């Protein structure tokens, strides 16, 4: 192995600058671990003349991807440019040129992960992507190595910092979704077009990656149903609190008898559940394994240096593998054929908030509908709404399947006494008091 390992960076934004900074500042530690010095030799940028926040020798910058992809001196390519088609093309060609690749690109891995890993494996190259899920939290390693002996049956992830910030603020301050979103945008916690975050798509991509690894099954983006937080109201958060819950945007992945479900939705968690106190922009992934039981991994889900930590840790693994001559040997094909649950197999409790006519018999009509479908109530609140002939009813159901619950929901809207189903949320996680 050479005296020096050369890195080519595709992209020089937030994460890219973090990578450059860590590689520069931690040379002594890197050399100790890897046995060679590590140098960022080339960085692909859109505009090499643009002023940069961090000092960089301008000969390192290039506007031509071939200076990295086809450069025989580059050993490892780090893709931190984002986007899908172009990134995919660059990564495939880098691998074909026998360069190892580290990427932070969740969109790409959720869509083309299986393909890219196959290309890597065929070319005897490593392809690592720890930074693609939950930023600085080493969750992929923990699933693939730390819990490799176990059979994982459930994962729940707070894997989107923007929505967690918004829900935390709404819950703590009683503010509206729109006000908090605006504030988050001003603070840089939300994009000017926040759709991918607030509608749960970003979280869905990460859950596809976690599902694939945790269940050893090729879970695609199409297999993940996603619902965002834009319809969540202060009232919902307030009732959740009153009833002993906290609302989070939770990615849920469960396996039962070989069949799996993966979804993302605003979810109520008992307030003493480990995920319930994960606040602000922090991320956490809760993992339940048959043998290990409950574990949780907590940390920063985004940001320049946290995400770069994950990228450089992957780089170290690549470089250790280079020293041992064992690159391209660690990725495993999925053990199981994909088997998704039907809605009848998806079991959970639910929270429902309704407006009903405030008159005799209204309540009975609702309870009859639930009981005819064999769904019982765990908790029930009913209270009149001032100056209106309407009462607000909040229901916490016992466990039921999704198909039955959706049937009940649609029948409820047909009932004359029901003015409106205001909101409806899944409930996950056992309370520690139970």
Instruction: Please name the residues in contact with 144: beta carbons below 8 A apart, sequence gap of 6 or more.
Output: 213
Q: Is 391 helix (H, G, I), strand (E, B) or coil?
A: strand
Give the nearer residue to its own copies in terms of CB position, either 24 or 96. 24
Give the nearer residue to its own copies in terms of CB position, either 92 or 247. 247
Residue 146 assigned ligand-binding role: no
What residues does 5 pair with on adjacent strands?
Answer: 38
Give the nearer residue to its own copies in terms of CB position, either 149 or 374. 149
Q: Which of 99, 154, 206, 248 is catalytic?
A: 206
Question: How many whole angstroms separate alpha carbon 164 and alpha carbon 183?
Answer: 14
What residues does 38 pair with on adjacent strands?
Answer: 5
CA-only gyration radius of the chain, Å: 24
325 φ/ψ angles, rounded to the nearest 5 degrees: 70, 35
- The answer to whether 43 touches 74, Cβ cutoff 8 Å, is no
User: Which residues contact its own copies by CB under 8 A?
Assistant: 18, 21-22, 26, 28-30, 32-33, 130, 136-138, 141-142, 145-151, 216, 272, 274, 277, 279-280, 282, 289-300, 303, 305-306, 308-313, 315-317, 320, 324, 326, 329-330, 332, 335, 432
- The answer to whether 53 touches 76, Cβ cutoff 8 Å, is no
What residues does 282 pair with on adjacent strands?
Answer: 300
Smallest distance, its own copies to C-beta of residue 406, A: 34
Residue 106 assigned ligand-binding role: yes
Give the nearer residue to its own copies in terms of CB position, either 280 or 372. 280
Smallest distance, its own copies to C-beta of residue 272, A: 7
Question: How many whole angstroms separate alpha carbon 143 and alpha carbon 236?
Answer: 34
Residue 13 assigned ligand-binding role: yes
Question: How many whole angstroms separate alpha carbon 183 and alpha carbon 189?
Answer: 9
Q: Which helix (H) or strand (E) holds 8?
A: strand 4-10
Q: Has 271 been annotated as catalytic?
A: no
Give the nearer residue to its own copies in terms of CB position, either 34 or 190. 34
Instruction: Please name the residues in contact with 187: beta carbons below 8 A apart, sequence gap of 6 or more.
Output: none
Smallest distance, its own copies to C-beta of residue 174, A: 17
Question: How many whole angstroms separate alpha carbon 217 and alpha carbon 153?
Answer: 13
Residue 228 assigned ligand-binding role: no
Give the nearer residue to its own copies in terms of CB position, either 82 or 135. 135
Residue 363 assigned ligand-binding role: no
Give the nearer residue to its own copies in terms of CB position, either 279 or 373. 279
Smallest distance, its own copies to C-beta of residue 387, A: 38
Question: How many whole angstroms separate alpha carbon 375 and alpha carbon 399?
Answer: 8
Smallest distance, its own copies to C-beta of residue 298, A: 4
Instruction: Please name the residues in contact with 377: beta carbons below 8 A apart, sequence gap of 6 or more.
Output: 367, 370, 395, 396, 397, 398
Residue 8 assigned ligand-binding role: no
Residue 402 assigned ligand-binding role: no
Query: Dihedral (C-alpha) 220, 226, 228, 233: value to the nearest 10 degrees?
Result: -160
Triad 408, 414, 416: Cα angle to 5°: 120
Tokens of 156: 């729940």
Question: How many whole angstroms separate alpha carbon 84 and alpha carbon 327?
Answer: 25
Residue 17 assigned ligand-binding role: yes
Smallest distance, its own copies to C-beta of residue 158, A: 13
Triad 343, 345, 346: Cα angle to 5°: 65
Residue 10 assigned ligand-binding role: yes
Smallest distance, its own copies to C-beta of residue 299, A: 3
Q: Which residues are marked as active site?
A: 206
Give the annotated binding-site residues for NADP(+): 10-17
Annotated binding-site positions for NADPH: 106
Enumerate the known binding-site residues for L-homoserine.
191
Q: Which residues are annotated as a binding site?
A: 10-17, 106, 191
């Amino acid at each position: 192995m050479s005296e020096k390992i050369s890195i080519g960076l595709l992209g020089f934004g937030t994460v890219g600058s973090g990578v450059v900074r860590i590689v520069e500042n931690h040379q002594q530690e890197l050399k100790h671990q890897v046995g060679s010095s590590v140098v960022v030799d080339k960085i692909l940028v859109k505009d090499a003349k643009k002023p940069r926040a961090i000092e960089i020798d301008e000969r390192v910058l290039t506007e031509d991807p071939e200076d990295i992809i086809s450069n025989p001196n580059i050993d490892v390519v780090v893709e931190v440019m984002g986007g899908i088609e172009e990134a995919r093309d660059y990564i495939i060609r880098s691998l074909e040129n026998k360069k190892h690749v580290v990427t932070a690109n969740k969109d790409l891995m959720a869509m083309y992960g299986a393909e890219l890993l196959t290309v890597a494996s065929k070319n005897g190259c490593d392809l690592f992507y720890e930074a693609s899920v939950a930023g600085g939290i080493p969750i992929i390693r923990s699933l693939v190595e730390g819990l490799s002996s176990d059979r994982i049956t459930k994962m729940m992830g707070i894997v989107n910092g923007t929505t967690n910030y918004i829900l935390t603020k709404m819950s703590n301050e009683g503010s509206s979704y729109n006000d908090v979103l605006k504030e988050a945008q001003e603070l840089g916690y939300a994009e000017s077009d926040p759709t991918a975050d607030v509608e749960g798509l970003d979280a869905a991509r990460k859950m596809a990656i976690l599902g694939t690894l945790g269940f050893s099954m090729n879970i695609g983006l199409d297999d993940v149903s996603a619902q965002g937080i834009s319809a969540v109201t202060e009232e919902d958060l307030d009732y959740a609190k009153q009833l002993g819950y906290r609302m989070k945007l939770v990615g849920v992945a469960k396996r039962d008898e070989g069949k799996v479900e993966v979804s993302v939705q605003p979810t109520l968690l008992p307030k003493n559940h480990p995920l319930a106190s994960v606040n602000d922009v922090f991320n956490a992934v809760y993992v339940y394994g048959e043998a290990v039981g409950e574990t949780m991994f907590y940390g920063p889900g985004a940001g320049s240096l946290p995400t770069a930590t994950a990228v450089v840790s992957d780089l170290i693994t690549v470089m250790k593998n280079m020293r041992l001559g064992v690159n391209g040997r660690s990725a495993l094909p999925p053990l199981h054929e994909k088997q998704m649950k039907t809605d009848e197999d998806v079991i959970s409790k639910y929270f429902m908030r309704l407006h009903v006519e405030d008159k005799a018999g209204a309540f009975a009509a609702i309870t009859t509908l639930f009981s005819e479908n064999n769904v019982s109530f765990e908790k029930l609140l009913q209270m009149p709404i001032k100056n209106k002939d309407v009462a607000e009813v909040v229901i916490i159901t016992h466990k039921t399947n999704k198909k039955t619950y959706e049937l009940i929901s649609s029948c409820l809207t047909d009932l004359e006494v029901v003015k409106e189903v205001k909101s409806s949320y899944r409930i996950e996680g056992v309370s520690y008091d139970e």
